[in-house]
Structure 1
């Protein structure tokens, strides 16, 4: 899985070859995304007949903690050609805010500190 930021949202991309959208469960909270699924063995192929197996078979789960809070009510997902793409819009309060930095010259009176 890959997670990257485009400014206003995070995008999670997961390559899931051989799986159908119905085989994948996606849940999102404001700070995590969880993918669960099951990759089933082809029917008629016994475990002992495999000579090499590089793709995991069985149930799996992955949870990712997000770097910033997201608006889970606006999360969307698409599954195309074995690739799951999840759009995770940042929550309103999680967007960076520009803060103006001002300077005070020596001639200006300073406010007393309490």
Structure 2
């Protein structure tokens, strides 16, 4: 009988607004929400035992990659070289019409949950993907209690 003052998707609209604000102001990401831009692209997930971070960085030399964990903040930084030649054979810059591939220095920052153990972090690079495994403290992992 009476119409609602708010739309039925109020929470969806608030979520959309929050995502747009994060993207517009490039707010620092947390484990629960990320900025939608930057290199390398990240996927974050987890198990009861670990937090898994996947950084998609094809063409990256693993020797240029630096991964740090300090006070619950994971930092991934490095440099990706440009595949384009610096100077043409005739001494002029090559003409590039479109270049959509990122090149240069990058840094991605991610806030980790409180229950992770920074001493057990492992990282490996394979097929253009950096997999970073951050274990959780044993006290934060679920355990089964037997009833006697």
Unaligned runs of 5+ in 1: 99-114
Residues 59-106 of structure 1: per-residue CA shift (max 9 Å, x gap): 1100100133311111111100110001100123444578xxxxxxxx
- Paired residues in the alignment total 99
Partner of 1:67: 113
CA distance in 1, matches of 2:127, 2:112: 25
TM-score, normalised with respect to structure 2: 0.58
Q: Greater strand share, 1 or 2?
A: 1
Bigger radius of gyration, 1 or 2? 1
Specify which structure has the higher proportion of helix. 2
The change in CA–CA distance for 1:8 and 1:30 in structure 2 (over 3 A counts) is farther
Over aligned residues, Cα RMSD in angstroms?
2.3
